[in-house]
Amino acid sequence: MSPDRPAAPSRWLGRSLVAGALMAASVALTACGSEGSTILNTEKVERAIEQSALAQRKQTARVYCPSGVHQKKGVEFSCTAVVKRRRTRFVVTQSDGSGQVRYEGR
């Protein structure tokens, strides 16, 4: 690989993490309300992905998700996991309107 060319997204998490991640994220995530709309607690999503990476792949990841995501069934958003400067994108889908999510590394 050329030093001027950025590295391709890492596949360090693999499909084994995906399967476990779906189960790990089935725990309800709390949210906070704001003028009638509920905002998903994406910090808990970040921690769940980090815990999955550590438990399943023995990798310490730092995960970044957007804030201000409305809590609603079917809403999707992306998070980024970083391990040793390598990035993996996670697609997060809200399973219901109560804060349960599923995520998959891509």
38-94 pLDDT, tens digit per residue, is: 999 999 999 999 999 999 999 999 999 999 999 999 999 999 999 999 999 999 999
Threshold 0.75, pTM exceeds: no
Q: Does residue 83 sit within a domain?
A: yes
Q: What is the mean pLDDT of residues 12-18?
A: 49
Give domain status of residue 1, yes or no.
Answer: no
8 in a domain, yes or no?
A: no
Residue 9 in any domain: the answer is: no
Inside any domain, residue 5: no
Task: Reply yes or no on whether the pLDDT at 5 is more than 70.
Answer: no
Is position 2 within any domain?
no
Which pLDDT score, from 0 to 100, does residue 34 have? Answer: 43
Q: Is residue 98 part of a domain?
A: yes
Note down the domain range covering 33. Answer: 14-105
pLDDT score recorded for residue 103 = 96
The mean pLDDT value for 8-19 works out to 47
DSSP the chain: --TTSPPPPP-TTHHHHHHHHHHHTTS---EEEETTEEEE-HHHHHHHHHHHHHHHH----EEE--S--B--TT-EEEEEEEETTEEEEEEEEE-STTS-EEEEE-
Better-predicted residue by pLDDT, 31 or 72: 72
Is the pLDDT assigned to residue 27 strictly greater than 70? Answer: no
Domains: count for the chain: 1
Q: pLDDT band at residue 37, thresholds of 50, 70 and 90? A: confident
Determine, yes or no, domain membership for 44: yes
